[in-house]
Copies of this chain bind each other. A is one copy, B any other.
Amino acid sequence: MGLNTFGHLFRITTFGESHGAGIGVVIDGCPSGLPLDEEFIQQELDRRKPGQSRIVTQRKESDSCIIQSGVFEGVTTGSPISMYIPNEDQKSADYEHIAHVFRPSHADYTWSAKYGTRDYRGGGRSSARETAARVAAGAIAKLLLNKHKISISAYVSQVGEISIPSDWNGSLETIEENAVRCPHPVTAENMERLILDVRKAGDTIGGKVSCVIQGCPPGLGQPVFGKLQADLAAAMMGINAAKGFEYGSGFEAIKMRGSQHNDAFYTENGLVKTRTNFSGGIQGGISNGMPITFHVAFKPVATIMQEQLTVDDSGQEAIAKGKGRHDPCVVPRAVPIVEAMAALVIADHILLMRSDKLSL
């Protein structure tokens, strides 16, 4: 049970390594009758792909997605949808020098300890390249959610010490207007400058991605182990470099009183709403119809262009130094990945909800 499958009813199984033939995903459980907008899928992949701006890795991949099954005359049939993204610009030679060295804070050592063998080229299966497959699948989940008038917007809210002003309440429509994917233009500029400085120093830096899901009906999520926040947390903590997850008030709730934190209900046009949203749109594990909000912390990328003391696979001291092409900060490219994983969770619960009641 390799656990390369994600989801309950809308399930994806990904495969492929960073420097193998390619990366792919099989979606099982996508309902029939969904028109498949291939251009949109490619756009989503383009948002994640390397080489798209000067603050990300310069590996050149077109990330062209081939749909191999499950679609007939442009519409899903209910059969598994397989998508394949060939690798084009793998430079395995960049990794031969670390075939026996355990790079600090990478998966080299743990993978070797686990499997007794590993594909050392570019991190193999542990590479964030695998997330391309998730973005492709997430694009289809988004097409499904569009039909339910649900939208998902993630953005970079912090890089290092620089964060969007806490009282900011602007539009999310500008997210894609800068390379950082921060909707606050001034902050975006500062973030970009910081990332370039860090890269120049051969270093990397952490960041935070925030996400808002709008249009969810009340009733998504299962009350005990399938709480919506639990599935979202698993989805987010399954992304490479993620270190923390919080929803609604998150870690701030620790300091709050119940009288502050409780979200008062009221009705508007026959809909039940809350005046505040510390609940982050989820109560008792179930969506309440308010926007779902959450944040994900990402660590600085482990590959730095500096010499680091480490050990090799025979236990001897060794030096690791980054070679190849890497991101100085993961969050700009993490934005579409966070959205994709969120879309997969919500699409899954849309289908799960269909079995809640005796009569639909």
Contact = CB atoms under 8 A, between A and B. Distances in A.
Contact of A28 (B1, B104, B303): B1
A233 interface: yes
Contact of A218 (B2, B113, B266, B280): B113
Most-contacted residue by chain B among A225, A238, A297, A309 (CB, 10 A): A225
Interface stretch (A37-45, A164-172, A242-250): A242-250
Given A68-B84, A72-B119, A79-B125, 5 more contacts: A105-B262, A205-B256, A249-B299, A261-B299, A261-B300
Given A28-B5, A80-B15, A257 B224 contact: no
Nearest to A294: B244
Contacts of A124: 72, 77, 79
Nearest to A248: B243
B302 A24 contact: no
A356 B266 CA distance: 36
A353 B2 CA distance: 10
22 contacts: A3-B28, A4-B79, A14-B80, A15-B68, A20-B68, A24-B69, A32-B117, A32-B356, A77-B117, A79-B125, A204-B259, A208-B254, A225-B238, A230-B234, A233-B236, A234-B234, A243-B250, A253-B300, A254-B297, A256-B299, A260-B300, A262-B302
A14 B224 contact: yes
A179 interface: no
Interface in A228-282: 229-238, 240, 242-251, 253-267, 270, 272, 274, 278-280, 282
A285 interface: yes
A284 B158 CA distance: 23
A67 to B, nearest CB: 8
